[in-house]
């Protein structure tokens, strides 16, 4: 009986795999690799290639091919019989695009058990870089896109999202205009999740609505997923040449089965040839399912606040984005580019003197937050290491009436300010009464309490909170194997950690409301 369900994630810095036993609901295994450590020859830092212009944030597509191979290799090296995996699904950082020549089609199909992945795919990329979601080099492109779509009501009316610097439309516009010869050689442009899924099935895989709706190239009809002729035409006009739609693959529903695993994986790692592959998706829709479809605050390298958007709701205005989710449904998400990156910086600056922090260092760091009682005059800061999108702001740390010298004040201010900003830009989840907190930051009780106080909502975390997205993929695969519904699958496979529940403190909730007002007034002046 093939009762194992595999979820894999390729995020900005690492690749993770989670295997669920669809029968018992237990976690049967997992694997994890870090790009900087595993592939030093690419010289990435946090998974991102070095570049003179800090607004340019890119990764290497060949490194991602190697990373997929490495994480599956690590899984195969353990005790788990991979031939018992009946279904699998991949998620990847959203908005990352991969550009390939026509030769990819043959290379995908012709892999054999012995093929060395980097040699095999070395020549297939028409662009040797893949722009990622942190890229902010496309300011003029989003302006041009909004202008071109203005007669149709603007990008939000056409695609569900305002024109975003980090989305594929702007990435493609900039690069194709600057490198027309490379664009000409490009046969396919993939969202990363669809590219990785293509590697699994040995032919181009469609993109799902979860990732495809974060492109500014999609229609906004969730019942009839596809590309928007108006958006495509606007991009083509900007580039000065046509044929963008022939370079984009089909769009399909979340979790649609897209084929069986390619022979290569069977021969090389012992997968069953019957292992079904589901459409890949973005890390955020995957995280949402990994949390059982409940409202989520994810405290990873970026912070996100997301939840299902009720179908009947008019699209409210705000800093958040809208992506497809399970068939016929949408999710709303606010993405804060500067999440735990700031804590990584502060711990090195204030606690370890530049050294890699240990668990003990993190404990010391947490203690520097100080007393739990919140007051109206908490020191506030605008903490941005990279350009931010929620709200759009340039990089820089702005301190409200204090300087960088006092470790305790700065560490406390960072914690409080991030919680205040999370709340301030998450109008779409204003009414949530319970929030599932995941990502590395969910280990901190202080952070879970601050989120509870900021939202006036109970917070809790779940089993495997560090890997909610690949777990979401494994839940989808287990759902496919057991032919159950989403709610049933969530009930069976998503396990709340009862010890983690934190209630909001009513006096703190009031203080947080005042801090939000203070932050709002202050940011309006800045």
* Interface ranges with ligand XUL (CB under 6 A): 11-12, 93-95, 133, 166, 214, 282-284, 302, 304, 321, 333, 335
- Cα→Cα distances 474→67, 89, 151, Å: 19, 7, 43
Q: Least distance from C-beta 521 to ligand XUL, angstroms?
A: 28
Reading the block at residue 122, the tokens are 């070395």
13 or 417: whose CB is closer to ligand XUL?
A: 13
4 or 165: whose CB is closer to ligand XUL?
A: 165
216 or 260: whose CB is closer to ligand XUL?
A: 216
Residue pointed to by tokens 């405290």: 299
Q: Mapped to the 3 state alphabet, what secondary structure does 255-309 carry?
A: CCEEEECCHHHHHHHCCCCCCEEECCEEHHHHHHHHCCCCCEEEECCCEEEEEEE
Q: Least distance from C-beta 302 to ligand XUL, angstroms?
A: 5
Distance CA 5, CA 461 (A): 22
93 or 158: whose CB is closer to ligand XUL?
A: 93
294 or 484: whose CB is closer to ligand XUL?
A: 294
206 or 285: whose CB is closer to ligand XUL?
A: 285
Run of H or E residues at 452: helix 445-455
When computed from its CA atoms, the radius of gyration of the chain, rounded to whole angstroms, is 22
List of residues 6+ apart from 322 with CB closer than 8 A? 160, 161, 213, 220, 309, 315, 330, 331, 332, 333
Q: Least distance from C-beta 167 to ligand XUL, angstroms?
A: 8
Q: Least distance from C-beta 289 to ligand XUL, angstroms?
A: 15
Q: Least distance from C-beta 92 to ligand XUL, angstroms?
A: 8
319 or 510: whose CB is closer to ligand XUL?
A: 319
List of residues 6+ apart from 455 with CB closer than 8 A? 297, 422, 423, 426, 429, 432, 435, 504
Q: Least distance from C-beta 130 to ligand XUL, angstroms?
A: 13
CA angle centred on 14, ends 16 and 190, rounded to 5°: 90
Q: Least distance from C-beta 204 to ligand XUL, angstroms?
A: 22
Largest CA distance in the chain: 64
Q: Least distance from C-beta 276 to ligand XUL, angstroms?
A: 25
Pairing of strands 4-10, 97-100: unpaired
Helix (H, G, I), strand (E, B) or coil at 133: coil
| 174 within 8 A of 144, measured Cβ to Cβ | no
211 or 255: whose CB is closer to ligand XUL?
A: 211
Instruction: Mark 138-158 as b/e (b = at least 16 C-beta within 10 Å).
Output: beebbebbbebbeeeebbbeb
Pairing of strands 303-309, 458-462: unpaired
Distance CA 407, CA 323 (A): 39
215 or 413: whose CB is closer to ligand XUL?
A: 215
202 or 282: whose CB is closer to ligand XUL?
A: 282
137 or 449: whose CB is closer to ligand XUL?
A: 137
Q: Whose CA is closest to 127, among 102, 108, 101? A: 101
167 or 493: whose CB is closer to ligand XUL?
A: 167
Q: Least distance from C-beta 263 to ligand XUL, angstroms?
A: 31
- CA atoms within a 13 Å half-sphere pointing along the CA-CB vector of 185: 15
Q: Least distance from C-beta 11 to ligand XUL, angstroms?
A: 6
Cβ neighbourhood burial of 125 (10 Å; 0-12, 13-18, 19+): buried
Reading the block at residue 310, the tokens are 């009720």
| 260 within 8 A of 218, measured Cβ to Cβ | no
Run of H or E residues at 453: helix 445-455
| 423 within 8 A of 456, measured Cβ to Cβ | no
Instruction: Mark 1-23 as b/e (b = at least 16 C-beta within 10 Å).
Output: ebbbbbbbbbbbbbbbbbbbbbe
Distance CA 243, CA 233 (A): 9
Q: Least distance from C-beta 505 to ligand XUL, angstroms?
A: 29
Q: Least distance from C-beta 151 to ligand XUL, angstroms?
A: 27
Q: Least distance from C-beta 14 to ligand XUL, angstroms?
A: 11
Distance CA 240, CA 272 (A): 47
333 or 467: whose CB is closer to ligand XUL?
A: 333
């Amino acid at each position: 009986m093939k009762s194992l369900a595999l979820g894999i994630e390729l995020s900005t810095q690492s690749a993770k795999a989670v295997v669920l036993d669809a029968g018992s609901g237990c976690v049967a295994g997992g694997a994890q690799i870090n790009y900087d450590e595993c592939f030093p020859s690419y010289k990435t830092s946090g998974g991102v290639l070095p570049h003179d212009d800090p607004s340019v944030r890119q990764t290497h597509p060949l490194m991602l091919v190697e990373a997929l191979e490495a994480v599956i290799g690590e899984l195969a090296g353990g005790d788990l019989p991979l031939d018992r995996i009946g279904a699998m699904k991949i998620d990847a950082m959203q908005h990352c695009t991969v550009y390939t020549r026509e030769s990819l089609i043959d290379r995908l199909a012709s892999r054999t058990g012995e093929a060395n992945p980097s040699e095999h795919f070395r020549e297939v990329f028409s662009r040797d870089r893949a722009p990622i979601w942190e890229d902010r080099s496309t300011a003029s492109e989003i302006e041009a896109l909004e202008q071109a779509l203005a007669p149709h009501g603007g990008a939000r009316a056409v695609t569900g999202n305002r024109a975003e610097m980090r989305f594929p439309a702007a990435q493609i516009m900039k690069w194709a205009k600057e490198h027309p010869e490379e664009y000409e050689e490009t046969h396919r442009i993939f969202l990363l999740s669809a590219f990785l899924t293509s590697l699994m099935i040995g032919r181009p895989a469609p993109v799902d609505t979860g990732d495809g709706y974060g492109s500014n190239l999609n229609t906004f009809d969730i019942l009839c997923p596809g590309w928007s002729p108006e958006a495509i035409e606007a991009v083509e006009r900007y580039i000065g040449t046509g044929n963008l739609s022939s370079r984009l693959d089909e769009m399909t529903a979340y979790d649609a089965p897209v084929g069986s695993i390619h022979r290569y994986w069977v021969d090389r790692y012992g997968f069953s040839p019957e292992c079904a592959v589901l459409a890949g998706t973005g890390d955020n829709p995957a995280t949402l399912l990994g949390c059982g479809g409940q409202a989520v605050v994810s405290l990873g390298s970026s912070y996100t606040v997301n939840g299902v958007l009720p179908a009947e709701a008019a699209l409210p205005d705000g800093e958040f984005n809208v992506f497809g989710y399970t068939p016929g449904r949408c999710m709303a998400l606010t993405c804060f580019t500067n999440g735990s990156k700031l804590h990584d910086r502060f711990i090195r600056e204030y606690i370890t003197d530049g050294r890699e922090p240990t668990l003990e260092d993190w404990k010391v760091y947490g203690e520097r937050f100080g007393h739990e009682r919140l007051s109206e005059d908490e020191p506030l800061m605008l903490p941005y290491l990279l350009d931010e999108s929620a709200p759009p702001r340039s990089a820089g740390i702005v301190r409200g009436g204090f300087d960088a010298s006092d470790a305790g004040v700065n560490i406390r201010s960072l914690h409080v300010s991030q919680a205040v900003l999370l709340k301030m830009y998450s109008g779409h989840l204003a009414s949530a009464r319970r929030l599932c907190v995941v990502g590395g930051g969910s280990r901190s009780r202080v952070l879970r309490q601050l989120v509870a106080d900021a939202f006036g909502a109970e917070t809790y975390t779940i089993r495997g909170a560090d890997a909610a997205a690949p777990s979401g993929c494994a839940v989808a695969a287990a759902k496919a194997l057991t032919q159950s519904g989403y709610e049933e699958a969530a009930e069976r496979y998503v396990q709340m950690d009862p010890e983690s529940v934190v209630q909001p403190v009513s006096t703190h909730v009031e203080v947080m409301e005042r801090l939000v007002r203070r932050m709002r007034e202050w940011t309006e002046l800045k």
